[in-house]
Amino acid sequence: MKAKSIIARILLALAVTVAAAAACMKFDDSEIQSELSGIKSRLSALEEKVNTNIAGLWEIVNAQKNGIQITSVSETDDTWIISFSNGKTATVSKGKSPVIGVARHQGVYYWTLDDEWLLDASGNMLPVSGAPGTTPQLKIDGGYWYVSTDEGKTWTKLGKATGEDGDSFFKDITWDDDYVYLTLQNGTKFELRRGDGLVASIAAIPDYSDGAVKAGTGLFTIRFKVEPGSAAEGLLYLDNKCFKLSAAYTLTKAAAGDLATLPIYEMEANDGILTILTDGESLAKEFASKKLGVSAALFISDGASLAVNSGYFPLYPKNEYNGHGYVDLGLDSGNKFADTNLGAENPWEPGNYYAWGELEPKKDYSWATYKWCDGTEDHMTKYNDTDGLKSFADDNYKDDVARQEWGGEWHTPTEKDWWELLDESKFKWTWTYKEGSYGYEVTSKKSGYEGASIFLPAAGYMDGKWQVGNDAGYYWISELSLKKEKALIMMASSDEAIAGYWVASRSYGMSIRPVLGKYVPKSVKGVSLDRGALTMVVGSTRQLSATVEPADIKNPKLRWTSSDQGVATVAKDGTVTAVSVGTTTVTVKTVDGGFTATCAVTVISPSDVPAPRSPIMRLQRTS
């Protein structure tokens, strides 16, 4: 019933009441009182709906203004319930309600009523700003709308309460993987980012007391503390274009310029810490020699609701990646050799000995103990003619102890890696004695890297339980020879150093000098789910598992969505929660490449669960 006709009926009821009182002192007014009570009840419900919408809209405008993210949207038959990253919620009507809304004027949102500016007692427009207590409250009294802007202490009479119900408070609410889109009936639109929380601040975690962070001319990581910590993981779902890692030279240099941009290869978030993998190869050569200072800063902006930066912090030149040092010799490939053998603490120490393709040192290096054979050299169980594997790279470095021990882009050198270092026109090999060990000092001749060197100790090798060949260095290469029971080695004696022409039985124990390779980004090729369909009972949960191709993609970014959150919701780990009876489609989407896989989810009530079948009783005839 429209408010206009409601008011008319009130007046008519009052007139009838007065006439009846004049005609007779006794009458039954219970029906009239019941109708009056119903009218008041409906007016009260109308007021409550309007004020709930106003409070909800205030939260939405506040979120838009302050970059607060939406964490979820759920719905009932007649409302949408929006949850925000600051812990607040907004409830707005789907059903009919006077059109309370907002509109923008000169960059500021103001309240409207039926598409007209809502004015205070002085005729001023009411801005959607300030604390929640300053939002307008509306009531109907005597057939007129009244507004209060001081939490109900005083009321200003507005226009006639015409009783027009209007349309749905929102024209539409939709969402995708990144944003929620809200459109009011008057066309005003809001676009709010989805996520776990708004980043209030980020700050680099220093390695030194002066605030400096270790940085190299190769790969290195920088860790950032994110406040609040709960927002760190949400950053992983931003497009990489939202991140920029800038390096500024503390002294202007024409060759270097004033600014450089460091690449962002990988990001991880754990316990409020954002870790970024970058590469200092583009930094001026003078940085490594400490002739030129560099500061860096991380900037994050999505161009809408998020803009934050770490501020500049100094970089200290120390070539270290994943806790292990390396030397930049100026190799054309960009690779860097480690400054020690695997398992050694100092450059002159031999480190550990490993059989080719094994991950642990041992006491006996023989075919009887070799991992990838049946006890003899006659039959290799892996890296053979059957599987076609010829190097550690062919099986994603699963058997490369350098990669497994040191992680990241460390690997056992390839033949090409060693031959690049053996180029006498660019590197000088000098047989020398250092701290009790003979070996080769390899020194760069390249411009800008002169004097940079590594020491390769002559540690011999292990045959069975014995160390032999102490007059030379023997280093594994990551590739097999033509004979699958043997692998390539780099041999360095006082007479010569040569790679690839020498081979050795895979069972021998030899040294490994890890190489830090350049970062090679891997692209997602597809994604699949372990289930294509799922039937659940209201209130239950099930976890879907996504498989990304290729399998060696590190920390693939995935987004999970449900087409109808009123039926079932899905968490970031693929956990599906059944909410109400119905059907929905759960979709997982890769951030890289945008590949998708879906699961059709059907939610049933507990009463629809089939009763378990009684076990079949098999009768056996006895004699």
The amino acid at 30: S
Q: Provide the angle, in degrees to the nearest 10, between the axes of the packed helices 3-23 and 30-66.
A: 150
- Report pLDDT for 5: 42
Q: In this structure, what are the phi and psi dihedrals at residue 221, rounded to the nearest 5 degrees?
A: -115, 150
- Report pLDDT for 576: 93
- Report pLDDT for 128: 74
Band of pLDDT at residue 620, cut at 50, 70 and 90? low
Residue scoring higher pLDDT (613 or 318): 318
HEC per residue, 309-351: ECCCEEEEECCEECCEEEECCCCCCCCEEECCCCCCCCCCCCC
Q: In this structure, what are the phi and psi dihedrals at residue 439, rounded to the nearest 5 degrees?
A: 170, -175
- CA 444, distance to chain mean position in Å, is 41
Tally of CB atoms within 10 A around 133 = 10
- Report pLDDT for 456: 97
* Exposed / middle / buried, residue 111 (Cβ in 10 Å: 0-12, 13-18, 19+): buried
Band of pLDDT at residue 135, cut at 50, 70 and 90? low
Both structure tokens of 505: 């039985």
Contact 191, 172 (CB under 8 A): no
Is the pLDDT confidence value at 26 over 60? Answer: no
Is the pLDDT confidence value at 423 over 80? Answer: yes
Q: Which of 9-18, 209-218, 431-440, 530-539 is least confident?
A: 9-18
Q: In this structure, what are the phi and psi dihedrals at residue 51, rounded to the nearest 5 degrees?
A: -70, -30
> What is the pLDDT averaged over residues 214-238?
90
User: Rounded to an integer, what distance in angstroms lies between the CA atom of residue 573 and that of residue 577?
Assistant: 12
pLDDT tens digits along 270-323: 999 999 999 999 888 888 888 888 999 999 987 766 789 999 999 999 999 999
Is the pLDDT confidence value at 18 over 50? Answer: no
Residue scoring higher pLDDT (240 or 417): 417
What does pLDDT average to over the chain?
82
pLDDT tens digits along 167-202: 455 677 777 666 778 777 667 777 777 765 668 899
Q: Which range, 74-88, 100-114, 225-239, has the best average confidence (pLDDT)?
A: 225-239
User: Rounded to an integer, what distance in angstroms lies between the CA atom of residue 593 and that of residue 519?
Assistant: 19
Is the pLDDT confidence value at 98 over 80? Answer: no
- Name 468's bridge partners: 461
Query: Which residue stretches of 242-347 are H helix?
Result: 285-288
User: Rounded to an integer, what distance in angstroms lies between the CA atom of residue 62 and that of residue 67?
Assistant: 8
Q: Which of 228-237, 278-287, 372-381, 453-462 is least confident?
A: 228-237
- Closest listed residue to residue 583, CA positions, set 607, 598, 563, 597: 563
The DSSP 8-state label assigned to residue 312 in this structure reads -
Q: Which of 173-182, 223-232, 278-287, 464-473 is least confident?
A: 173-182
Is the pLDDT confidence value at 622 over 90? Answer: no
Band of pLDDT at residue 237, cut at 50, 70 and 90? confident
- Report pLDDT for 219: 95
Is the pLDDT confidence value at 375 over 90? Answer: yes
Q: Which of 95-99, 382-386, 461-465 is least confident?
A: 95-99
Residue scoring higher pLDDT (532 or 83): 532
Query: Domains, the chain, ranges and CATH?
Result: 3-193 (no CATH), 201-318 (2.60.40), 338-516 (no CATH), 526-608 (2.60.40.1080)
Both structure tokens of 550: 């290729």
Band of pLDDT at residue 137, cut at 50, 70 and 90? confident
Contact 428, 329 (CB under 8 A): no
Is the pLDDT confidence value at 359 over 80? Answer: yes
User: Rounded to an integer, what distance in angstroms lies between the CA atom of residue 562 and that of residue 603?
Assistant: 13
Q: Which range, 136-150, 373-387, 601-615, has the best average confidence (pLDDT)?
A: 373-387
Q: Which range, 83-87, 156-160, 611-615, has the best average confidence (pLDDT)?
A: 83-87
Is the pLDDT confidence value at 496 over 70? Answer: yes
- Report pLDDT for 111: 74
Question: Which percentage of the chain shows pLDDT scores above 70?
Answer: 79
